[in-house]
């Protein structure tokens, strides 16, 4: 029986991170947290934390297993219920989705470890909500269908609504109302965009759309592009691009540290969706609808960089400064995407890994610094010195240098890749000017903040009891910062992976062949190779729908 289970798991691996997060959330809800919240039942809280942490670590192992499989060129298609695409719901794991899945679960481990140091008892049901959030994020990255992308968006958003106000407080409720209203409007627009696309193309399967859009006549293509541009607005709101970014600084600054760190991944869901729809489905080769957003993505990305950095310079609090740097990082990623070349897309993917890791680490670091400055908190004004000035100072220096793009850290490497890859494009002068100027201004803003935090200190009050942060909080933050250093050391293999991921995204025929190719007559628990331009593609076979679909015919 154990051998059968071991043989079964690999073929069902694409769905397991989603199912694991869902199952863990349900179990933790069943256990409850009333005892931990009221200060009683410490044993129950201990078990909740243990189960939650074990689940996240197991999910990380699954995600990295999928990443290792995708790195070979394998593209895994998982038909839910055994129904063939485009009629059934499929999960698709290629290099990009595997990378985002691994990034999400890797960040979740130190973030949950940090939250278990005390933040999880500031409100109710933190751990179930955390896993529902992971479920939504995982599903969004592996789904092969636009409607199910909407479904997983709603799952992660509902969880984020509750997580945002976790611990309560006036500022969190205020930011939460704005956040909920904006996302409800975006969800309505999402459905409108999907309706237009489905009414035009007759499908919402991403692989099927990539084939059908090229066959639309000029009138149909215009309507399809309208639906795609509506989705660009929706994804732009999630990614926090100009002019849809104004919600993010207040929201992320108001959230508790571990939630803000996890939310660093959420903006990348919007960027990921833009890549899937506008760089792939509506990319080169989409007929009359090709490159529908080409005139928008690059200018919006560059303006987002500029306004994000200016916001960081004007910020009066460390959390808001990091939030604005999150906006600027999204702009840098979109600048590469908006150039519509494989090298610039690859550079953007590398920079996306770096920016997500370092922003998550900085949000945790903000709370560590603020907790040791008394009532001043994270406000950028002189206060008594922190209890651990050397360690926190070095951690802040490392994070600031990386996000500003100083060599030899991954921020420098990522920006250098974006600049080098854009050199052969007509817009290279704009990209170089904005990215380099933004990097200099970011360095100025962070140097100012560091000087206030660690040099412009007030005399110590002898009656003040000062204590450092716990080893658990420190280790979680150091872990995330350490991952950014690993990214610099492993820059060459990571860049080779992002190069292959960008090339695979450009190979629409191989992707469509893997998802829509003829299958049948085999067990649902087996896989077989599908030869495509992006390398060997692993396609699960199953018993259902043995007759050929219209596409297969």
- The percentage of the chain sitting over the pLDDT mark of 90, rounded to a whole number, equals 57
The answer for residues whose C-beta is within 8 angstroms of residue 177's C-beta and 6 or more apart is none
Residue 200: band (very low, low, confident or very high) from pLDDT cuts 50, 70, 90: very high
What confidence score (pLDDT) does residue 57 get?
96
**Consecutive H or E run containing 224:** helix 218-239
**Phi-psi region for residue 291, left (φ > 0), alpha (ψ -120 to 50) or beta?**
left
At 236-284, the pLDDT tens digits run 999 999 988 989 998 998 888 999 999 999 999 999 999 999 988 988 8
pLDDT of residue 10: 61
Which SS3 state, helix, strand or coil, does residue 168 take?
coil
Question: Per-residue pLDDT tens for 412-423?
Answer: 999 999 999 999
Region 143-163 average pLDDT: 93
For residues 155 and 94, what is the distance between their CA atoms, to the nearest angstrom? 22
Query: Please, are residues 430 and 512 in contact by the beta-carbon 8 Å criterion?
Result: no
Full-model pTM: 0.89
pLDDT, tens only, 86-143: 778 889 999 999 999 999 999 999 999 999 988 888 888 899 999 999 999 999 999 9
For residues 79 and 48, the answer to whether their CB atoms sit within 8 Å is no
The stretch 61-72 carries a mean pLDDT of 94
* pLDDT in the model for residue 338: 92
Residue 544: the pLDDT is 34
- pLDDT bin (cut points 50, 70, 90) of residue 465 is low
Helix (H) or strand (E) holding 279, with range, is none
- pLDDT, mean of residues 191-203: 93
pLDDT of residue 133: 95
Lowest-pLDDT range of 338-352, 374-388, 501-515: 374-388
Burial class (CB in 10 A: 0-12, 13-18, 19+), 371: middle
97-111 tens-digit pLDDT: 999 999 999 999 999
Work out the angle between the directed axes of helices 410-422 and 342-371 (0-180°, nearest 10). Answer: 150
Q: In the chain, where are the structural domains located?
A: 2-541
For residue 515, pLDDT over 90 is answered with: no
Give the span between the Cα atoms of 101 and 157, in whole angstroms: 17
Lookup: tokens for 551 = 């596409």
């Amino acid at each position: 029986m154990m051998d059968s289970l071991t043989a079964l798991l690999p073929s069902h691996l694409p769905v397991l991170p989603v199912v694991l997060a869902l199952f863990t959330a349900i179990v933790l809800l069943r256990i409850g947290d009333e005892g931990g919240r009221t200060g009683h039942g410490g044993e129950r809280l201990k078990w909740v934390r243990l189960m939650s942490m074990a689940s996240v670590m197991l999910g990380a192992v699954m995600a990295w297993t999928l990443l290792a499989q995708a790195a070979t060129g394998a593209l895994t298609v998982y038909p839910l219920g055994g129904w063939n695409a485009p009629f059934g719901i499929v999960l698709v794991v290629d290099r990009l989705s595997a990378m985002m899945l691994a990034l999400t679960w890797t960040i979740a481990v130190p973030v949950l470890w940090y939250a278990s140091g005390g933040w999880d008892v500031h409100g109710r049901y933190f751990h179930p909500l955390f896993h529902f959030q992971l479920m939504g994020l995982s599903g969004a990255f592996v789904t092969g269908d636009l409607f199910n992308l909407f479904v997983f968006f709603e799952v992660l958003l509902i969880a984020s609504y509750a997580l945002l106000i976790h611990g309560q407080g006036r500022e969190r409720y205020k930011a939460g109302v704005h956040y909920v209203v904006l996302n409800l409007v975006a969800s309505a627009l999402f459905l409108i965009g999907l309706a237009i696309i489905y009414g035009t193309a007759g499908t919402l399967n991403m692989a099927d759309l990539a084939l059908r859009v090229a066959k639309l006549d000029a009138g149909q293509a215009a309507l399809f592009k309208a639906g795609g541009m509506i989705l660009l607005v929706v994804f732009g709101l999630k990614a926090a691009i100009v002019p849809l970014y104004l919600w993010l600084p207040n929201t992320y600054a108001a959230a508790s540290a571990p939630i803000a760190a996890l939310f660093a991944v959420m903006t990348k869901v919007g960027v990921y969706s833009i890549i899937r729809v506008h760089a792939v489905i509506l990319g080169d080769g989409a007929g009359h609808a090709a490159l529908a957003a080409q005139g928008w993505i690059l200018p919006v990305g560059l303006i987002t960089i500029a306004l994000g950095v200016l916001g960081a310079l004007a910020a009066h609090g460390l959390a808001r400064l990091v939030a604005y740097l999150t906006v600027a990082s999204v702009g840098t990623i979109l600048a590469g995407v908006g150039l519509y070349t494989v090298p610039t897309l690859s550079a953007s993917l590398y920079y996306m890994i770096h920016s997500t890791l370092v922003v998550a680490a900085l949000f945790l670091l903000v709370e560590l610094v603020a907790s040791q400055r008394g009532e001043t908190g994270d406000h950028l004004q002189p206060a008594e010195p922190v209890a651990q000035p050397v360690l926190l100072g070095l951690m802040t220096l490392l994070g600031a240098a990386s996000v500003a793009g100083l060599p030899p850290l991954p921020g420098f490497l990522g920006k250098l890749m974006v600049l080098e890859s854009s050199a052969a494009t007509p817009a290279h002068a704009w990209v170089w000017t904005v990215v380099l100027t933004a990097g200099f201004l970011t360095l100025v803003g962070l140097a100012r903040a560091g000087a206030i935090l660690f040099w412009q200190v007030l005399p110590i009050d002898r009656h003040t009891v000062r204590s450092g942060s716990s080893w658990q909080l420190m280790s979680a933050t150091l872990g995330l910062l350490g991952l950014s250093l690993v990214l610099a050391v492993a820059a060459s293999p990571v860049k080779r992976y992002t190069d292959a991921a960008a090339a695979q995204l450009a190979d629409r025929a191989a992707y469509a062949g893997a998802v829509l190719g003829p299958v049948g007559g085999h067990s649902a628990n087996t896989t077989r190779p599908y030869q495509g331009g992006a390398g060997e593609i692993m396609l699960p076979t199953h018993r259902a729908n043995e007759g050929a679909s219209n596409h297969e015919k």
